[in-house]
Structure 1
């Protein structure tokens, strides 16, 4: 499934539950919070659940694993109803954020643990565990206990333990979050290789957009317990539909009403009608997006520039990242702008200062808002 929005989900629902893969609607209530998320995935597909803290990502993963009971909906895997089954009887492998290796067991015996729970004899289980450690590049660490392993090595042991039982559903809960930047880069590449070889369904929970873009075939964005956008990573990145998604992929996002090449925005100050000139010829409810790097800043209103969009703004804050500066702007149109440290110094940027922001029409991207933003939640 790589479609965007409700249309693709509605078509899938109309065709009935898939005999292979994941077909789920997860309804879980926790006090005032209610999770209601529909998920579907084919064998061999990696789906990433993205969302801000408290959105319900981990709750959804726990419901899939059998660690949180469903209050409604359904949970079918390869045509089998998993909802009545306890966690230990589900064909599910889990890689937790903190790996949860047994500290008193060697890497080999940690991997063999799940196989032993399935009834495999000890010698056979340890031999199979050794083969899995070889696959993840840790054969020489088979006798090591977790305290003697690095973070990346522990993560690979946890992955081998989850895969060794040959689950039909693999769940990964922030699997790279505890790693340093260098180890994360190396381990992400290892994880991607193993996910490409995995023939069942994999669900990844992450807050890191790079992890999601690199590892997943499809993104499912959850906010306040509901799906707000779904689609292939490149499509979600090109066409964000909420402020959270726009920030995630590094875009300024606005909603408005289009008439030809002009879009009247539902943003800015109440006293000013804000419009944007775009290259697309559209009509009706639309989104407009552009990257912070498309914004040029000026001390005075630019004259003779090719930019068709110019607004008076005020600097609300400044952050430096290496040789780049991110300026958060308020005023006629709130936005983020990226510029070099040299340009920021020449402009004398400081919080509270007034600037003019300009964006060329060719650097904007307008698209219909009617593509729908959320998956239907009907059972």
Structure 2
């Protein structure tokens, strides 16, 4: 599919250097994820024209935007804190963009009324931002961004300011609006759930570079950095593969049913890790002694972090924890079946 957005963003900011390639097709939503300081917001600001490019290119629907001022770009932006004009009503906030694009007041208000109705706020048009809830303010900000018919929609942590319940409801509403948006959408977020629910494709950036990209299934099945592994909740190790065995630094080995040669990753879920008070009977292919480091609640289960030849996270039930008499420093044994691991090329 032809890319509506074709961008190579090179930005220098103090000691930080961003070098990221982004391509987004019509109707596609791409999530840009990464740890704090990875360059996500810098990339968004460069697309919006708020951060100058030091190199690369920026084409939107075939038009070179590098010399187009921010207010002239066919781009809608929803900022993390929404940045609604506090002195304007919701209706006038949404009408602001069309007015800036030369539309007369009556027509701009008609556009604003249609968008407020689409986001479920038809009866909130006269309210000022201070009289809106967080979810309502987010919807006004989205309506304001979409009212200019943007070729590119930029969303900067659009749900971060909401409480958990409002976030759940608003996420579903936002997904519906993004599905109907014919242009390209870039979602900047640190929340993997937002990315998995809202985006068609994920782009992971670390230290100003793209380290992995693909659909959710590919990313979650085969993480390629520690950050991505933590993001999707997997234990990840890098070593050298020789058939079914991957040798890790320090001489420790992990066995998989997958075959891999050369530089390789091994990944497995914390749920695949079995804990034992004593060395387990039988012959699990991956077994090693560990010392308990930390225990935290993780949903209905407990996430246990363990130190040993390799550090590992395990998910166990409260009942299993009680039987193991967990306490910091407790010596245990770990077992992971070879069939529960995934080995793949680095």
With 254-263 and 148-157 compared, the bigger mean Cα shift is at: 254-263
2:301 maps to 1:318: no
> Relative contact order, CA 8 A, sep 6+: which one is greater?
1
- What is the aligned length? 346
| Equivalent residue, structure 1, for 2:126 | 143
Which of 280, 285, 301 matches 1:302? 280
| Equivalent residue, structure 2, for 1:278 | 256
Deviation at residue 304 of structure 1 after TM alignment: 2.0
| Equivalent residue, structure 2, for 1:358 | 335
2:62 maps to 1:79: yes
Structure 1 runs of 4+ aligned residues shifted over 6 Å read none
Q: Deviations over 1:105-147 (max 9, x none)?
A: 1111110011111111101111110010111111111111111
Could you tell me how far apart the structure 1 residues matched to 2:281 and 2:173 are?
A: 52
Could you tell me how far apart the structure 2 residues matched to 1:172 and 1:321 are?
A: 29
- Mark the runs of 5 or more structure 2 residues left unpaired by the alignment: none
Q: Deviations over 1:182-217 (max 9, x none)?
A: 111111111111111111111000000010011111
Q: CA RMSD in A?
A: 1.2
- Mark the runs of 5 or more structure 1 residues left unpaired by the alignment: 2-17, 370-379
Length-normalised TM-score, structure 1: 0.89
Deviation at residue 327 of structure 1 after TM alignment: 1.1
Could you tell me how far apart the structure 2 residues matched to 1:321 and 1:178 are?
A: 23
Mapping of residues 102-181 of structure 1, within 5 Å: 102-181=85-164
Length-normalised TM-score, structure 2: 0.97
Could you tell me how far apart the structure 2 residues matched to 1:173 and 1:152 are?
A: 15
Could you tell me how far apart the structure 1 residues matched to 2:55 and 2:218 are?
A: 31
Q: Deviations over 1:73-131 (max 9, x none)?
A: 11111111101111111111000011111111111111001111111110111111001
Could you tell me how far apart the structure 1 residues matched to 2:220 and 2:123 are?
A: 41
SS for the counterpart of 1:358 is strand
Deviation at residue 321 of structure 1 after TM alignment: 3.4
Could you tell me how far apart the structure 2 residues matched to 1:321 and 1:203 are?
A: 30
